[in-house]
């Protein structure tokens, strides 16, 4: 029997490993199973070049839970170790066997070797009061050995009995970690970390083992992202999506990533179906390294706007920290990030070009991704300008920016020569304004999602010679900053009297009254809010209590009185001054109501005043 001390560079390293190396103790299963996979893959590599003799037999990983004896065993049929190798790879902390193997057999499919740090095995001590290793090397005439350690630097290494090559790791679970003696807990961890590992994994609960029951591996050793796209059908992609997200609707479409150079990257990214902005969920992309689950926090490798996608990314070239839990800064991360952006943009452009009708049908969901990307990623913006579309207010037609420009350029330019894009945030509430604009020949598009307020501001900075104006930001005649105005048929003294009558007190509003000669078919009074101030107020409302300066300001509203509307001839001729004021107040309230600005007591007063006027109206007459 050999006795000795584990050779470490840092004093008391085991307490450090137990407390600080891994943020979550369940990681021990991932690390030990990954080591077993490595041992198996090494054996396959050696066999492929003739260095491992004889039949390999069934290559598999077996995980056995024995709650009664408080043990978990992870057994492989891989390369195994002799006494010298155990002393070298186990007793010298942080000397990674996987890394040495890769260097020695460089070019022999080294990407299949997972471990690179040499610390994964020691995660076993986070949950164990003692760890045993029983192992036998694949080399001819090798003697099996047993290694034992109780979590202190002291170990024993002695000859043992083991018929077949491979390694059994036996964890004697400590009292603090008895949660891991629950079969359901172990299965859920295996499902999380090991469901796509490339070697079959079998789980056995000794307490429920049935000898006559045919066991099935708990993992899919050949997930679709490692296959070629030409081998897969639409049904394959949709089935895999359902496996990942059982309660989600069928995705819109997907992108299959398959890159060999200058980095290795595989994966599938799905565009989920989203109908409302509030349904957006981030952190739905899973990151793998050689089919080992690492994390679902991929903000460093996936562009921010693509965090809205679902799916998997697998790359052995992603630099991880020692516990494989977090990404580290590296040029490869930036390259992968840029590649994913390009692939997504190319796919969207391809669908738009080849299947525009289908693209338009999916725009309700796609628009959120595209707009978010255009706001946050200038490289994506450059490509997205070709396939970003705007739906008209009637929901009948879509325009790219260039299509909208060519269809409106002669009519919709302001005095600065900028294209004015007229938009609505609520086609129902702003219906009358839309109809007025359409009557002038203007094109109105819908920008009604939560993201659109920010999108408009960003695009005014990024798109040259473009300005957005909401359709109710001005009376229709002034929407495009035209300088010409129509004359009112009213005498100047009548205009002055109307302005005085419309000088209504509204503490929460800052009201300005003007009289203009609009079309007789235009409403008697039109309420508008300046584009800039309305945007600031809307953004402040989205920020809630953090709305700041603009959030505390009263709404600025202009009441434009249409001096050419026939109703004012009757109002000016009304002899009852009180009744005259009430009718005018009702007209103002109707205009405010169209902007959603009549609420609370003011709305109640409007209703009561309307009833009062109707009760006082002589038979055969109608009073507004």
CATH number for the domain harbouring residue 333 = 3.30.230.80
The predicted pLDDT at position 114 comes to: 38
Confirm whether 32 is domain-assigned: yes
Binned at pLDDT 50, 70 and 90, residue 617 comes out as low
The predicted pLDDT at position 547 comes to: 47
Token pair in block for residue 353: 């070009």
* Range from 40-44, 114-118, 283-287 that averages highest in pLDDT: 40-44
Q: Are 62 and 188 members of one domain?
A: yes
Q: Are 108 and 145 members of one domain?
A: yes
The predicted pLDDT at position 112 comes to: 44
Confirm whether 63 is domain-assigned: yes
Of all helices (H) and strands (E), which one includes residue 136? Answer: strand 128-136
**Domain CATH number, residue 99:** 3.30.565.10
Task: Give the phi and the psi of residue 187 in degrees, each rounded to 5.
Answer: -60, -40
Distance CA(133)–CA(149), nearest Å, equals 9
Token pair in block for residue 244: 């990942």
CB of 473 closer than 8 Å to CB of 425:
no
Q: Could you give the maximum distance between any two Cα atoms of the chain, in Å?
A: 119
Given a cut of 70, whether residue 485 has pLDDT beyond it is no
What are the angstrom distances between the C-alpha of 364 and each of 173, 275, 391?
Answer: 52, 6, 10
Distance CA(37)–CA(201), nearest Å, equals 9
DSSP code string of 209-271: --TTSPP--SS-SS-GGGS-GGG--HHHHHHHHHHH-TTSPPPSEEEEEEE-SSS-EEEEEEE
Antiparallel, parallel or unpaired: β 166-173 and 201-205 = unpaired
Q: What is the mean pLDDT of residues 594-623?
A: 78
Token pair in block for residue 168: 């059994």
Q: Are 520 and 585 members of one domain?
A: yes
Q: Are 298 and 407 members of one domain?
A: no
pLDDT digits (tens, 9 = 90+) for 347-406: 999 999 999 999 999 998 899 889 999 999 999 999 999 999 999 999 999 999 999 999
The predicted pLDDT at position 324 comes to: 45
Q: Are 327 and 283 members of one domain?
A: yes
pLDDT digits (tens, 9 = 90+) for 582-608: 998 999 899 888 888 888 888 898 999
Q: Which domain holds residue 410?
A: 389-478
Q: How far is CA 103 from the centre of its chain?
A: 38
CB of 327 closer than 8 Å to CB of 300:
yes
Last residue of a domain, one of 449, 478, 507: 478
More confident residue, 386 or 317: 386
pLDDT digits (tens, 9 = 90+) for 58-116: 999 999 999 999 999 999 999 999 999 998 888 876 444 445 544 554 555 444 433 44
Burial of residue 160 (number of CB atoms within 10 Å: 0-12, 13-18, 19+) = middle
The predicted pLDDT at position 387 comes to: 96
Last residue of a domain, one of 279, 310, 341: 341
Confirm whether 348 is domain-assigned: no
CB of 511 closer than 8 Å to CB of 557:
yes
Q: Are 540 and 454 members of one domain?
A: no
Distance CA(485)–CA(213), nearest Å, equals 88
Q: How many domains does the chain have?
A: 4
Q: Are 441 and 565 members of one domain?
A: no
The predicted pLDDT at position 19 comes to: 54
Of all helices (H) and strands (E), which one includes residue 514? Answer: strand 509-516
Token pair in block for residue 616: 């006082």
Q: What is the average pLDDT value for the chain, to the nearest integer? A: 83
pLDDT digits (tens, 9 = 90+) for 500-559: 888 887 777 888 888 888 878 788 898 888 877 777 776 666 655 444 555 566 778 888
Q: Are 165 and 308 members of one domain?
A: no
Smallest CA-to-CA distance from 1 within 157, 153, 235, 149 is with 157
Confirm whether 486 is domain-assigned: no
Distance CA(594)–CA(434), nearest Å, equals 12
Q: What is the mean pLDDT of residues 308-337?
A: 70
The predicted pLDDT at position 10 comes to: 43
**Domain CATH number, residue 447:** 3.40.50.11260
Confirm whether 118 is domain-assigned: yes
Confirm whether 196 is domain-assigned: yes
The predicted pLDDT at position 619 comes to: 56
Smallest CA-to-CA distance from 456 within 378, 448, 406, 394 is with 448
The predicted pLDDT at position 119 comes to: 63
Across the beta sheet with 145-149, the strand order is 2-5, 154-159, 145-149, 128-136, 166-173, 71-76, 61-66, 201-205
Q: What is the mean pLDDT of residues 252-260?
A: 90
The predicted pLDDT at position 282 comes to: 63
> b vs e for 335-361, b when ≥16 Cβ sit within 10 Å of the residue's Cβ?
ebbeebbebbbebbeebbeeeeeebee
3-state secondary structure of 565: coil
Last residue of a domain, one of 159, 179, 208: 208
**Across 277-286, 309-318, 385-394, least confident range:** 277-286
Binned at pLDDT 50, 70 and 90, residue 484 comes out as low
Confirm whether 367 is domain-assigned: no
Q: What is the mean pLDDT of residues 605-612?
A: 89
């Amino acid at each position: 029997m050999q006795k000795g001390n584990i050779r470490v560079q840092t004093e008391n390293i085991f307490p450090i490993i137990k407390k600080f190396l891994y943020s979550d103790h369940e990681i021990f299963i991932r690390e030990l199973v990954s080591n077993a996979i490595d041992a198996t893959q090494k054996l396959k590599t050696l066999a492929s070049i003739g260095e491992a003799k004889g039949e390999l037999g069934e290559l598999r990983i077996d995980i056995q839970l024995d709650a009664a004896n408080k043990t978990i065993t992870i057994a492989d049929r891989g390369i195994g170790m002799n006494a010298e190798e155990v002393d070298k790879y186990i007793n010298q902390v942080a000397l990674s066997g996987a890394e040495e193997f890769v260097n020695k057999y460089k070019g022999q499919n080294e990407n299949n070797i997972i471990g690179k740090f040499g610390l994964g095995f020691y995660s076993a001590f986070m949950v164990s009061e003692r760890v045993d290793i029983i192992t036998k090397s694949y080399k001819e005439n090798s003697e099996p050995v047993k290694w034992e350690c109780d979590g202190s630097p002291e170990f024993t290494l002695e000859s043992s009995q083991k018929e077949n090559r491979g390694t059994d790791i036996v964890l004697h679970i400590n009292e603090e970690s008895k949660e891991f003696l629950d079969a359901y807990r172990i299965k859920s961890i295996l499902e999380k970390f090991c469901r796509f590992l490339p070697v079959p994994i079998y789980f056995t609960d000794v307490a429920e083992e049935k000898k006559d029951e045919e066991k099935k591996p708990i993992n899919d050793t050949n997930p679709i992202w490692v296959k070629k796209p030409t081998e897969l059908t639409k049904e394959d992609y949709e089935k895999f999506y359902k496996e990942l997200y059982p309660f989600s609707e069928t995705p819109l479409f997907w992108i299959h990533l398959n890159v060999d150079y200058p980095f290795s990257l595989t994966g599938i990214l799905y565009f989920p179906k989203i109908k409302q902005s509030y349904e957006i969920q981030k952190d739905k992309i899973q990151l793998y390294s050689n089919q080992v689950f690492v994390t679902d926090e991929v903000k460093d490798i996936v562009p921010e706007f693509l965090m809205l996608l679902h799916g998997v990314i697998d790359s052995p070239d992603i630099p991880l920290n020692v516990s494989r839990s977090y990404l580290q800064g590296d040029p490869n991360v930036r390259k992968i990030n840029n590649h994913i952006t390009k692939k997504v943009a190319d796919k969207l452009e391809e669908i738009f070009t080849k299947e525009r009708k289908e693209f338009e049908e999916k725009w309700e969901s796609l628009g959120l991704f595209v707009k978010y990307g255009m706001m946050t990623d200038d490289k994506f913006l450059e490509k997205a300008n070709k396939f970003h579309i705007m739906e008209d207010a009637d929901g009948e037609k879509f325009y790219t920016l260039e299509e909208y420009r060519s269809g409106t350029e002669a009519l919709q330019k302001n005095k600065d020569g900028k294209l004015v894009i007229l938009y609505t945030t609520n086609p129902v509430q702003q219906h009358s304004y839309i109809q007025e604009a359409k009557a002038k020949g203007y094109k109105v598009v819908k920008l009604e999602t939560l993201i659109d307020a920010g999108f408009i501001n960003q695009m005014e900075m990024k798109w040259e010679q473009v300005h957005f104006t909401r359709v109710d930001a001005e009376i229709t005649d002034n929407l495009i900053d035209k300088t010409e105005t129509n004359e009112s048929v009213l005498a100047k003294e009548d205009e002055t009297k109307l302005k005085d009558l419309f000088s209504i007190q509204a503490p929460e509003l800052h009201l300005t009254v003007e009289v203009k000669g609009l079309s007789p078919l235009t409403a008697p009074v039109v309420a508008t809010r300046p584009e800039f101030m309305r945007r600031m107020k809307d953004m402040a409302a989205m920020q809630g209590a953090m709305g700041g300066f603009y959030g505390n300001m009263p709404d600025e509203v202009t009441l434009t009185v249409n001096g050419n509307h026939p109703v004012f001839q009757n109002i000016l001729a009304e002899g009852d001054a009180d009744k005259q004021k009430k009718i005018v107040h009702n007209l103002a309230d109707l205009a405010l109501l169209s902007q959603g600005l009549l609420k609370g007591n003011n709305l109640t007063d409007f209703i009561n005043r309307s009833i009062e006027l109707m009760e006082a109206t002589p038979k055969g007459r109608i009073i507004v």
